[in-house]
Structure 1
Amino acid sequence: MTTTLKSHPIWHNVTQTVEAIDPTAIATQHLQACNAQINGYWDEEDQFYEIIRFSQSPQLEVISSALGVTPNHNGGTPWLNFKYALKIPGSEATIGELSLILNDSLKVIDENWLIDIHSPHVLSQ
């Protein structure tokens, strides 16, 4: 007998859990907490920027989510990873991506930004 995860009930449970968490609200709160700016950013060409700001606060669109467990001596530490597209309101322009990793208390434990530094909506110093 072959078992596949595609139709396993775990996916329904994960989907319900992710929807109940409201990942967009978490990212919006994170953006507000950092005043919609990034302090210390290295771009893909190894250029360093002290501060990255946006001409207007970007809209967040969830583009992927992942659930994982990091093995440890207690059996494992669960985490969630949400990846967002950063879009300018009223425009189709995507100015980058934000990835947030959350612990089991839904606190941000890591973040990763990928910013289109050449976008006219990105202000850098």
Structure 2
Amino acid sequence: MAQMMKIAKIISTKAVVINAGIDNHLRKGDKLEIIDKFGTDPVIDPDTGKSLGTLDLPKGELIVTEVYPKMAIAEAPRKPAIPYLSNGIPGLPSIQNDLNVDPEQITGGFPKPSGEQIKVGDIVIKRS
């Protein structure tokens, strides 16, 4: 089972605070996923007939950038500014995607609403 956490604070359109940290074994660089809905229909293995799990509906992805004992700052992943250079050559600029947060809950920065918004209390998981 994935470790479950929640968004405790929205810092900006690019960063949030998670209610877990060093005490919960989070480390800088950990990849997290914000979940909209947990899947309910099991995927069944055609060979064994056993459940393989469910497909969750994600809202967004995060990378842990700072870790404190009981909380962590996580940001939207960065991607190369030049899409075909996906390996990321040092020195080339990168673009950081906006998180789809609820603009009324931002404590700094400019809102960019669209689709299902990320809100304080949303579930965040670290896939193991």
TM-score, with structure 2 as normaliser: 0.24
Please say which structure displays the higher CA radius of gyration: 1
User: When you count strand as a share of all residues, which structure comes out higher?
Assistant: 1
TM-score, with structure 1 as normaliser: 0.24
Higher RCO (C-alpha under 8 Å, 6+ residues apart): 2
